[in-house]
């Protein structure tokens, strides 16, 4: 599968072309580039960093080693936000545009999927990494969404002000103490500050929750991705919030936490 993907990348073609031309021989140049891609893969570099692309929510996104490779389970975060945003923007009919901020945007996958699905929302995205924001901006331009998402460099929600309807995040949530359970590829090649939060894994979330409380309007929602390891700590940290719930992903692993700021 990886070999096929890397061949498509080398020849800049799709799968249909590969199958339609089994007789096609590689030129020496193509052969050299294909070998180089295969040996990168053999030393563990994720295929997405070699091809520079990953699909998310039906969008082809650029990725580099400056950003986490968007994961399919993060699409559950999008589903949750869409359900809540449509409620905010529909039944309650607020007199303002729905205002959303994506904290730790990385490749921009969450902010851009939301911008695509919610044409009337005001969307902000933050990251502490300027290299990640460069990729996120490139992805926004690639999908003609550059006027829809306002990017900010900084620590979590610092300097963003208040009045948000939704704070959304896929924060770093792996603990350094569980590093040996993380795939070697992730540990070696994905950005450390995108994956690891600190010794326990809840350090970034523990700072995000009170900041989100300040940034949200009363009745607004906080939605963030978690793992099964930290689910009990997350419930503790959300004490005092309303309508706390945690939904599983397709593998039944607790994946999306949501909580409402009391009105």
Ligand X SMILES: C[S@@+](CC[C@H](N)C(=O)[O-])C[C@H]1O[C@@H](n2cnc3c(N)ncnc32)[C@H](O)[C@@H]1O
Site residues (CB under 6 A) for ligand X?
67-68, 70, 74, 104-107, 109-110, 126-129, 132, 155-156, 170-172, 193-194, 204
Please give the Cα distance from 52 to 62 (Å, whole number): 6
Provide the phi-psi class of 108: left if phi over 0, else alpha when psi is between -120 and 50, else beta. Answer: left
Beta bridge partners of 150: 124
| CB-CB contact of 74 with 89 (8 Å) | no
CB of 33 to ligand X, least distance (A): 28
Nearer to ligand X by Cβ, of 171 and 220: the residue is 171
Q: Which residues contact 258 (CB under 8 A, 6 or more apart)?
A: 80, 84, 221, 222, 223, 243, 244, 245, 246, 247
Nearer to ligand X by Cβ, of 65 and 233: the residue is 65
With CA atoms as reference, report the closest residue to 226 among 239, 215, 237.
Answer: 237
CB of 255 to ligand X, least distance (A): 12
199 DSSP 8-state letter: S
Nearer to ligand X by Cβ, of 10 and 124: the residue is 124
Nearer to ligand X by Cβ, of 193 and 200: the residue is 193
CB of 85 to ligand X, least distance (A): 17
CB of 251 to ligand X, least distance (A): 17
**Count of other CB atoms within 10 angstroms of residue 13:** 14
11 DSSP 8-state letter: H
Nearer to ligand X by Cβ, of 134 and 146: the residue is 134
Q: Which residues contact 62 (CB under 8 A, 6 or more apart)?
A: 52, 53, 107, 135, 138, 139, 142
CB of 119 to ligand X, least distance (A): 21
With CA atoms as reference, report the closest residue to 96 among 26, 166, 23.
Answer: 166
Residue in this structure with the two tokens 């894994």, named with its chain if needed: 201
Nearer to ligand X by Cβ, of 68 and 230: the residue is 68
Nearer to ligand X by Cβ, of 107 and 229: the residue is 107
3-state class (DSSP) for residue 104: coil
CB of 125 to ligand X, least distance (A): 8
**Count of other CB atoms within 10 angstroms of residue 134:** 15
CB of 173 to ligand X, least distance (A): 7
CA dihedral 64, 205, 197, 236 (to 10 degrees): -140
């Amino acid at each position: 599968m990886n070999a096929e993907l890397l061949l498509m990348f080398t020849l800049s073609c799709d799968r249909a072309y590969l199958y339609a031309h089994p007789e096609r021989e590689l030129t020496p140049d193509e052969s050299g580039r294909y070998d180089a891609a295969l040996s990168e893969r053999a030393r563990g570099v994720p295929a997405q960093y070699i091809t520079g692309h990953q699909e998310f929510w039906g969008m082809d996104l650029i990725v580099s080693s400056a950003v986490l490779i968007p994961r399919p389970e993060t699409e559950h975060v999008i589903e949750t936000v869409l359900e809540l945003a449509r409620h905010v923007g529909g039944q309650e009919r607020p007199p303002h545009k729905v205002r959303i901020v994506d904290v730790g945007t990385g490749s921009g996958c969450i902010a851009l999927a939301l911008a695509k699905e919610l044409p009337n929302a005001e969307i902000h995205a933050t990251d502490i990494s300027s290299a990640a924001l460069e990729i996120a901006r490139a992805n926004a331009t690639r999908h003609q969404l550059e006027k829809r998402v306002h990017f900010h460099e900084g620590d979590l929600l610092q300097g963003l002000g208040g009045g948000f309807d939704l704070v959304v995040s896929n924060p770093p949530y792996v603990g350094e103490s569980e590093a040996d359970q993380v795939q070697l590829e992730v540990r070696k090649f994905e950005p450390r500050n995108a994956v690891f939060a600190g010794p326990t894994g809840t350090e970034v979330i523990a700072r995000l929750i009170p900041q989100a409380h300040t940034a949200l309007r009363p009745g607004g929602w906080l939605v963030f991705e978690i793992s099964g390891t930290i689910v009990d700590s997350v419930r503790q940290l959300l004490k005092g919030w309303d309508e706390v719930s945690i939904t599983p992903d397709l593998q039944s692993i607790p994946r999306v936490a949501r909580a409402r700021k009391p009105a």
